[in-house]
Structures are given as structure tokens and as C-alpha cells.
Chain A
């Protein structure tokens, strides 16, 4: 029982990270029907920005800066930097192709993804880069019965959950949120209603990318190391989570992410880690066969 609970906790932590990145896929898909394959790499760049900020501040010669303050700065740099990067990607790689064949932005998305990976590889580091977590946050371990998890793991879980709820409120309770939903439903009609669609799309990219940046910070604090290839694998898992939950659906991305994390840790924990990914993608196939719109997605009807 203790073993089961421990694996469940492991899965929830990992799943909350998937969910955070999956939200970005789903937000952008919801508005543009575009699969932003560069999203995983925006997450990676955010993580590197956070790692860079941490390294610069922790090992500076001027003054000892308290860890908590450094973490706040990491959040600002990573979320702001990733957000701006997302907006720039949209402006350069997607907006000129908005009325093109749907395949075209998919190809530029893959191009941007490769570009970001290789830029970090060449200019930053081909090897994993340390996030000096020992100097930043408590390395304490929370013990509840037989279940143990590092404090940073709990922060990862709680932080992602809080942000997801905030995003949900933003999209469903605010005026700008309804503009977003209107744009998602029908871009042309939204324009006729006086909604500045370009601005909505820009803000959506900023939000989605800033969430990825936040994911990068939480990842760095939890796993203490970042590398240029980390966005690729996590991006695919997060995309899978978004599809399982119903792509375009915000709550679906959260559910899909958590489900995927738990599925991964339980199948690895109780069956075999050699087939861990097999189960993840079997689940994807099963969902696509039985409920093609995803767990919480609405069936797509033909628009007349």
C-alpha cells in the first residue's frame, strides 16, 4: 500500500508538469487550430533562462542574495522571457501563414522547434546545466507515513494546480477570457463583434508560453538540472496529455496531464519500466478509438 501511494505521488507530480505544458498546447490549438510543436522547446528555453538567472545570482561576488528572492527573479525572467519568445514565434512563424494551407504552420512549428534546440545547443551548452537548488530552496523531504517526497515536488504540484485554476478562472470569468473563447469559436464573427483578434492571439501565445516558462522554473527546482533536449520528450508527452483530455479543452489538458503522469508511474511501478511508454501510447490509441474527441472534448460537428 505504501508502495502504491508513493508511486501515485510520483505520478501526480510528474503529471502536474505534463498538465502545465499541455495547457499551452491546448490554449493555442483552441484559438488557432494550430499544433505549436515549438511549445516544448519554449518550456526548455524558460528552464534555461531560470537556470541562468539562478547561476548569475547565486554565485555573484557582490552580495549574498536570499534564495527565496532568487526564485522570484527566476520566475520573472523565465515567464517573461518565455512569454516574449512565444509572441515572437507567433509573429514570425505563424501569423504570415495564418491563411495558408494548414500544413504550412505545422512545418514552421517543427522548424522553430529545431532552431531553438540547436541554438541552445550551440550557444549555451551541449551538456546538462546545473540549477543550484541547494542554495535556493529547502532540500527537505516531506514524510507522510511511508510516502516521501521532496518539498520541491510538492511545490511543483501545488504551484501548477494553482496556476491552472487561475487560468481557468481567467478564461471563463473575465471579459478578455470571453474574447478568447469567442475567437476560438469563430475568428471572423469575433472580428465583426469588435474583438481585436490579433491581440487576443498575441496574449494567448504570451500566456501559454509564460506557463511553459513557469513549468521550466518548477522543473529546474525539482530536478536540479536542465538540458537542451528536455523540451522534446516532455513536449510529446504533454501533447499526448492534451489529446487524451480533449485538445482545445483547458480542463481536459489538466485531467489528461495528471492521468498520463499517474498511468506512467503505475505502469512503470507495477508492470515494467521497459514498457512504460508503451502503456502511455496505448492509452492514447484507446482514447482516440473510443472517444476521438478526448475525455472532456466536445464532438466536432461540421461547420456549415
Chain B
């Protein structure tokens, strides 16, 4: 909805700037690009909007802040919104538009590993290639497939899986009920965790939830019969609310006769309210830090700004990636700003090489990518549902 307005603003601003640009060009001010566009891509509507909607708000805020600070040498950045519905086919339709327009300089996203895996070859073959910075794609293959366009600010499943397994083992887990939700992300992560547990002689039982599943009575009856003391659910969607409610219905109380460890999508305070408190005591790990749980002034300022922009209770609906989405947008925007302007144009090739070499300044501190596009020193954070919030209880460095 805000898109046309931004376009108009951009047009007005560029006309105004061009008017005064003529006299100052001799004064050595940096050259001004004619038009700069980036895209936000993720599941902004549909069942996974729980994770996407907050990330989009964060990216919109990042672009707004960047433009307020002067944009790219005076040219404001236009944000395109690509709602890929977490499917690669939908994503490709949007990306085709971006590939053919040389003023589209990069993508913040896609959020889902499956979408990155399905679309990266096309972005790579574009001329010049269209770079992306994902805030949440965690499957190992994302950065192990040799695509130079792919970058991500979050940690990988092969860091998260073992960290999750180790956390449960440290708490004395002997038998773990491992569940996935049948997505590339979820199966990959559950596999990593299950493998680590088995390698360390912890017995496991593996089951699957359907995406969008509501009735978990069959699975919960199985959990009870299995004798597991830990339930591990790798999930990015809203299924945990229903699972936890059903556990309560069959007399499994988290923190009492069962322990619960969720991932990313379950690092979400709204689950506590939506289960009427039954989620209290559950743990969840996140591949991205929650700024609200950090003490640095950059993170705290961002949290304050987010609440001012979207309302005091917006944080409870922001999902697990509103921090990393802002971070990813900051990285891409800085890479664009660092790139040279030739004849009013910035080349995607320059943006791409800058992403690979520069160090970026973000709300989480400085960020640099390794040769595969993974962030150096990314960490896994363990949260626990306490009161009405998710609180950081442990940080496992990558």
C-alpha cells in the first residue's frame, strides 16, 4: 500500500535534488544515482505471515531510516515488496521483474530456505547477477551450493541442530521426541538435531506435523507412550500453539512432567498468551538475536523506534526475525552506498563484490561475510518463556 507513495516521494525528491545538483556537481559532492531500488521478499501473507509480517515492517523501517539519513548520496531508495507466499514459483515471478530492471540492486530475503534453494540459480545466472541477503534462511545447502549471490545474516542449521541437541543433553535428556513440520527448513534442522543426539547415545523418536495442523491428539498420545522427557519441535509456523494446548489436555505440563524445546518460529511471546500460559517454561532457540533481549544501545534504540513506528504492542506480533530483517536491510543498503556511481547508475556487480568484502555496521554490531556468504561469528540464542516474555537464557557462539 505504501509503495506508490514512496515512489511519488522518490520522484519529487529526485527532481528537487537534480535541480540543485547542477550547481554543486563541480564542488566534488559524490555522484548521485538516478534510481535505486531494493526488494523485500518473504511470506508476508498466508500461513507463514507470522514470521514474515514483522520482518517486512523491519525492512520498511530500515529503508525509511536510510532515506532519512540521506539515502544513496541524496537519492532515496525505493522498496519493492515481493510476497512470495513461501513458494519458489511465486518468488520467480517477482524476481523476473527485478532481474530485468538494472536499478533493482538487491533482495532482502527470501526468508525461507526452500525459496532460496529454488530461486538462487536464476538470480545467479542473471546479468549482472542479482544479490540477496537473507535474514532467516538456515538450511545448510543455501550457502554450500556455490552461489556467490547468496548471503545470510542468520546462523545455519548445522550450527543450530547440534547447539539444540547439546542444550537438551546438558539438561539431562535421555530420550527426545523429535518433530518436524514437513518443510525444507524444518526437516533439515530436525535431521541435524536428531543425528547429533543419536551420535551421543540419546534415544530419539521421530514424527511429523503437517503444515497448518490443528489436531495434535494423535501425536501427543504418542509422546506420552514414548516415555520421552523432551519434545523437540523444529518449526517456523503457528503450529506450536495447538501442540502445546493438546499437551495440556493430555496432562503433559511443560517444565513439570515434560520439557519442550522449539526453534525460531517458536521464539515468540504470543505463544504464551495464545496457550493461556501453558507454554511457560518452554525453551526455544533462534538463529537470529532478538534485539529486545540485548543490552547494547543500538539494539535498544531500534526496539524503541520499532514500537514508536508500529505501536506499543507491535513487538508481540513482530515474529522472531524483526531484528535480523533490519540487520539484513542495513547490510544491503550499506553495500549499495559503498558502490561507485557511474553515469547515474550503480552496477549490481559492484554491490555484489562489496557484499563479499566490506564490513557492515548494524544494530547487532559489525557484520562480515565469509567466502560462502555465511556471516562470520553468527550465534545461536536460547530463550525461555517466562511470565509473558521470551527471555534469553543462554548464547551459544558459532
Contact = CB atoms under 8 A, between A and B. Distances in A.
Contacts of B221: 3, 6-7, 10, 269
Interface stretch (A194-202, A270-278, A285-293, A296-304): A270-278
A125 to B, nearest CB: 8
Nearest to A3: B225
Contacts of B209: 273
Residue picked from A127, A223, A264, most chain B C-beta under 10 Å: A127
B250 A148 contact: yes
Nearest to B271: A128
B218 A276 contact: yes
Given A7-B221, A118-B45, A229-B47, A126 B53 contact: yes
B208 to A, nearest CB: 4
Interface residues of A, number: 42
A71 B325 CA distance: 42
A183 interface: no
Contacts of B273: 130
A92 B344 CA distance: 53
B231 to A, nearest CB: 13
Interface in A117-132: 118, 121, 126-130, 132
Interface in B258-311: 270, 273-276
Nearest to B248: A139
A233 interface: yes
Interface string B164-180: 00000000000000000
Interface string A1-27: 001001100110110010000000000
Q: Please indicate which of the listed interface residues B45, B207, B218 has the most CB atoms of chain A within 10 Å of its own CB.
A: B218
Contact of A273 (B53, B207, B241): B207
B270 A224 contact: no
Contacts of B214: 219, 223, 230, 233-234
Contacts of A128: 50, 238, 241, 270, 274
Interface in A123-182: 126-130, 132-134, 141, 148-150, 153
A227 B238 contact: yes
B394 interface: no
A264 B221 CA distance: 13
Nearest to A13: B217
A230 B212 contact: yes
Contacts of B215: 10, 14, 17, 223
A129 B222 CA distance: 27
Interface string A217-260: 00100011101011011100000000000000000000000000
Nearest to A224: B245
Given A130-B276, A132-B276, A229 B218 contact: no
A127 B241 CA distance: 11
Given A134-B276, A150-B249, A127 B317 contact: yes
Contact of A130 (B206, B274, B317): B274
Given A3-B221, A225-B245, A273-B218, A233 B212 contact: yes
A241 to B, nearest CB: 14
Nearest to A152: B249
A268 B218 contact: yes
A204 interface: no
Given A118-B45, A224-B276, A264 B218 contact: yes
A138 B361 CA distance: 54
Nearest to A126: B49
B217 A121 contact: no
B191 to A, nearest CB: 13
Nearest to A143: B251
B377 interface: no
A124 to B, nearest CB: 12
A269 B218 contact: yes
Contacts of B251: 141, 148
Given A118-B45, A128-B238, A224-B276, A272 B207 contact: yes
A121 B49 contact: yes
A225 B208 contact: no
B213 interface: yes
A6 B224 CA distance: 11
Contacts of A277: 210
Contact of A223 (B225, B242, B250): B242
A113 interface: no
A17 B214 CA distance: 12
A209 interface: no
Contacts of A234: 214
A198 B205 CA distance: 56
Given A13-B217, A126-B45, A127-B317, A273 B208 contact: yes
Given A232-B212, A274-B208, A10 B217 contact: yes
Given A223-B215, A225-B241, A233-B213, 15 more contacts: A10-B221, A121-B46, A126-B53, A126-B317, A127-B50, A127-B274, A128-B241, A132-B276, A223-B245, A265-B217, A268-B222, A272-B207, A273-B218, A276-B210, A277-B210
19 contacts: A10-B218, A17-B215, A121-B46, A121-B49, A127-B270, A128-B238, A141-B249, A223-B214, A223-B245, A227-B238, A229-B212, A230-B212, A232-B212, A233-B212, A268-B222, A273-B208, A273-B218, A273-B219, A274-B207
Return the 5 tightest CB-CB contacts between A and B, nearest first: A10-B217, A126-B49, A268-B218, A274-B208, A265-B218
Interface of A: 3, 6-7, 10-11, 13-14, 17, 118, 121, 126-130, 132-134, 141, 148-150, 153, 219, 223-225, 227, 229-230, 232-234, 264-265, 268-269, 272-274, 276-277
